[in-house]
């Protein structure tokens, strides 16, 4: 074993053979993943921005994503010059991460918007329940919500009302609302309204029941967040410890970690380490993420 790992040429050949076999066996998935991470990622960013009522230019989004990915990757490659292998490894890693940043940022903003919409449903459905009790119809009650509240619920309800005015049925307009805001509470609201319009029933009482359900769900979610906060922080710390130690050793004694960057075996070890860190971080994040 020491003879194999002590010979740089054998290490390079074995690593190259492993990469070739893995790429050959997973070629279809790799190509699909690359497409999803490139063109598919840009389209997802544009779709999320459109759903959040943000006007944007496709060309500007494309330029920004190229700068964050290939631009930063090229800078990292130049920083490690003339060490081409290390520069390629870290440059490709930064390029991959940089291309995913806009999509992850927009998904985070979209999740916050959906959560804020659900939070506003407590006040919105209360207003609608009072409107129905006073003799107003469903659309008139929604208009009261739009005039009294702001933010996502006003935007979404305005879009629903505009589609109804243009001739779309109330059921279809509400179903589209449920598709745009994929939350259980929104689906419950849409389903309840559509069923009661067909069979008849007390809308005001139904809205009050949905408000109580949302409040109880929020209590459970906050309790879970408090219980998993420590585990999430531990996951972040454990993931960052190897990188912090590497930086400390580079500052204190660069020669101690120099073989990691100057020998083929060290480069392979770095690649394996990065892969294991990503897998471990994602796994720990999934463990402490509990959906209600």
Q: Any idea how long the chain is?
A: 292
Rounded-to-integer distance, Cα 123 and Cα 12, Å:
63
Share of the chain above pLDDT 70, in %: 82
Q: Lowest-pLDDT range, 35-44, 71-80, 171-180, 214-223?
A: 35-44
Which CA distances in Å does 292 have to 185, 221, 224? 11, 7, 9
Joined tokens for residue 284: 């720990």
Question: What is the C-alpha to C-alpha distance for residues 146 and 167, in angstroms, rounded to an integer?
Answer: 20
Q: Using CA atoms in the order 152, 154, 157, 158, what is the torsion angle rounded to 10 degrees?
A: -120
Reported as a single tens digit per residue, the pLDDT across 22-45 is: 666 665 565 555 555 555 577 777
Residue 88 · residue 77 · CB < 8 Å: yes
Architecture (CATH level 2) of domain 119-218: Up-down Bundle (1.20)
**Tens-digit pLDDT profile for residues 60-82:** 777 777 777 777 777 777 777 77
Q: How far apart are the first and last CA of the chain?
A: 50
Instruction: State the pTM of this model.
Output: 0.66
Domain boundaries in the chain? 119-218
Task: For residues 136 and 21, give the distance between their C-alpha atoms in angstroms, rounded to a whole number.
Answer: 68
* CB-based contact 143:161 (threshold 8 Å): yes
Whole-number CA gyration radius for the chain:
26
Q: Name residues whose C-beta falls within 8 Å of residue 48's C-beta, 6 or more positions apart in sequence.
A: 106, 107, 109, 110
Cα 181 from chain centre: 15
pLDDT confidence tier of residue 215, bands split at 50, 70 and 90 = confident
């Amino acid at each position: 074993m020491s003879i194999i790992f002590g010979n740089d040429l054998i290490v390079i050949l074995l690593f190259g053979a492993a990469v070739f076999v893995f790429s050959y066996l997973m070629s279809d998935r790799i190509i699909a993943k690359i497409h999803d991470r490139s063109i598919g990622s840009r389209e997802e960013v544009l779709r999320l921005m459109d759903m959040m009522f943000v006007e944007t230019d496709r060309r500007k989004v494309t330029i920004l994503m190229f700068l964050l990915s290939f631009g930063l990757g090229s800078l990292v490659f130049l920083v490690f010059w003339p060490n081409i292998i290390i520069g390629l490894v870290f440059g490709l890693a930064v390029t991959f991460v940089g291309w995913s940043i806009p999509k992850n940022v927009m998904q985070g903003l979209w999740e916050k918007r959906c959560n804020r919409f659900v939070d506003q449903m407590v006040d919105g459905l209360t207003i609608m329940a009072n409107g129905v009790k006073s003799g107003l119809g469903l659309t008139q009650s929604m208009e009261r919500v739009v005039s009294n509240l702001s933010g996502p619920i006003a935007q979404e309800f305005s879009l629903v009302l505009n589609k109804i005015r243009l001739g779309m049925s109330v059921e279809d307009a509400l179903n589209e609302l449920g598709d745009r805001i994929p939350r259980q509470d929104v689906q419950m609201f849409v389903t309840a309204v559509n069923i009661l319009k067909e069979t008849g029933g007390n809308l005001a009482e139904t809205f009050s029941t949905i408000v109580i359900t949302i409040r109880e769900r929020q209590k459970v979610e906050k309790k879970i967040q408090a219980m998993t906060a420590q585990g999430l922080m531990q996951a972040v710390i454990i993931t960052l410890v190897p990188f912090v130690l590497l930086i400390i050793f580079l500052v204190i004694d660069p020669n101690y970690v120099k073989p990691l960057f100057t020998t083929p075996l060290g480069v392979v070890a770095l690649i394996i380490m990065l892969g294991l860190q990503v897998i471990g971080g994602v796994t720990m994040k999934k463990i402490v993420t509990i959906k209600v």
